[in-house]
Amino acid sequence: MANKFFYFAYGSNLLAKRIHINNPTAVRHDIGQLKNFRLDFGTYSKRWRGASATIVAEEGAHVWGAIWEIDNCDMANLDHQEGVADKIYSAQTVDIETPNGTRLKCRVYQQCNNPKENLKGDLLPQDRRPSAAYRNTILKGAVESNLPEEYIQFLKTFPHNGYIGEPDIGRFIPTMSD
């Protein structure tokens, strides 16, 4: 592992087709759970035309995601994709627990300006809602990653912002019907 790192994806990078756009060395290693954090949506993404996902510290909550093993040569690509230099996201190292109880140190990205209020469903303000394409990418990635069905149903509770056009990520990302 000296030339590789583990990355915990909980948003669009759950989907192999998406992560491989900028990180061709990524290999799905497992799935896992980040404890004492919740999934939320915050900062507007011009690329996705809606709010993008983040993790927010919250005692007793958890976030499921995919654990990718990536060559160190792609770390700069991942940092660039996540907007680290622009202070959109910051990189952190966290403990992720796999379904068999193994704990792995993983790189994860958290928005620099996280939402304060934990609002769900229709209470989520329009400016904190993801676009349909982003939401669909997360859902397809969650299914592809074999995240628990209960968590996939939870992801479906986040409404999209009504924008149903294509994202500006350089390649087509499939809709739920594809």
Cβ density class 143-158: b for 16+ within 10 Å, e for less: eebebeeebbebbeeb
Q: How many CB atoms lie within 10 A of CB 105?
A: 11
Residue 82 annotated among the catalytic residues of the structure? yes
Question: Which of 82, 97, 144, 150 does the annotation list as catalytic?
Answer: 82
The rounded distance, in Å, linking the Cα atoms of 171 and 71 is 22
Sign for the CA dihedral angle at 39, 57, 19, 48 comes to: positive
The rounded distance, in Å, linking the Cα atoms of 125 and 65 is 24
The rounded distance, in Å, linking the Cα atoms of 53 and 42 is 7
Known catalytic residues?
82
